[in-house]
Copies of this chain bind each other. A is one copy, B any other.
Amino acid sequence: MSLSKNEIKLVKSLQIKKYRDLNRLFVVEGVKLVRELIEQSHFKIDGIFYTKDFDERIPSHIHSFEISDNELERISGLKNPNRVLAVVKYPTETPIDLDEDNLVLILDNVNDPGNLGTIIRTADWFGIKQVIASVATVDLFNPKVIQSSMGAVYRVRFYRTKLTEAVQELKANGYEVVGAALGGENLYQTAFQKKTALVMGSESHGISPELVPYISKMILIPQFGETESLNVAMASGIILSHYKREQTATD
């Protein structure tokens, strides 16, 4: 078969948030990410477009279409398209699990898609299951987020909501709300509760003022050099690692 102009136009439009939201569809590209999408994720696949070099098995209940390399190039958002592109339905939204004995990561305006993808990848590495982002945080379904998460978007539950409400609910359900900020207490001397809600602010503006009243303590990754700040993904990963170190030492 060959793709119609309208199909090409629809798939290409999913590079842009407005059209993703309108169609409630997003794209996943490349052999590894599509394989994991098929095998490991609960996401519903609307269709898979693959070239003749794609040699993974696609279950028969999934609509799939062989297309030419040239057609893949036309619908792809990558510089170097890699054999396959899947169009995926937005997952249905579920309520936050307020009983989980784990850290819940809260992202207060992370703007860079590479950072968000890296945060989700790292959260998954450390067994974090829930990430809550502010409404202004970059779109989870941005293709750069999907690619840089390395498939972790399939496993980590992601919520986008008003953070003041989320933080109040978590607090009411026994979570200690901790913020990462300059001037906080030394991370290396911090004891974490198992149920921790960790708020990461934006690199340029820190934690939003309206969240501060709900935060029980601020923590700081000790600084030994002159660099003024850490990248928000880096800071998140470092704090998650120290949280896990402590939890595993006291288990």
List A residues 187-221 near B (Cβ within 8 Å). 187-188, 221
Residues of B within 8 A of A238 (CB): 237-238, 241
What's the Cα separation between A46 and B92 when bound, in Å? 57
Residues of B within 8 A of A122 (CB): 227, 230-231, 234
Say if the beta carbon of A152 comes within 8 Å of chain B: yes
With A224-B127, A237-B238 as known contacts, state yes or no: A121 contacts B244, CB within 8 Å. no
Chain B residue with the shortest CB-CB distance to A223: B125
With A238-B237, A241-B242 as known contacts, state yes or no: A226 contacts B124, CB within 8 Å. yes
Interface string of A223-251 (1 = CB under 8 A from B): 11111111101100110011011001100
Residues of B within 8 A of A227 (CB): 121-122, 124-125, 150-152, 155
Q: Chain B nearest CB: distance from A149 CB in Å?
A: 8
Residues of B within 8 A of A248 (CB): 188, 222
- Cβ 8 A contact of A126, one of B126, B127, B225: B225
List A residues 105-134 near B (Cβ within 8 Å). 114, 118, 121-128
Q: Chain B nearest CB: distance from A176 CB in Å?
A: 20
- Cβ 8 A contact of A231, one of B118, B155, B188: B118
What's the Cα separation between A231 and B238 when bound, in Å? 13
A225 touches B125 (CB 8 A): yes
B225 touches A128 (CB 8 A): yes
Q: Chain B nearest CB: distance from A200 CB in Å?
A: 14
What's the Cα separation between A127 and B226 when bound, in Å? 8
B245 touches A237 (CB 8 A): no
Chain B residue with the shortest CB-CB distance to A152: B227
Residues of B within 8 A of A222 (CB): 244, 248
With A126-B224, A126-B225, A225-B127 as known contacts, state yes or no: A121 contacts B241, CB within 8 Å. no
Residues of B within 8 A of A152 (CB): 225, 227
Residues of B within 8 A of A229 (CB): 125, 150
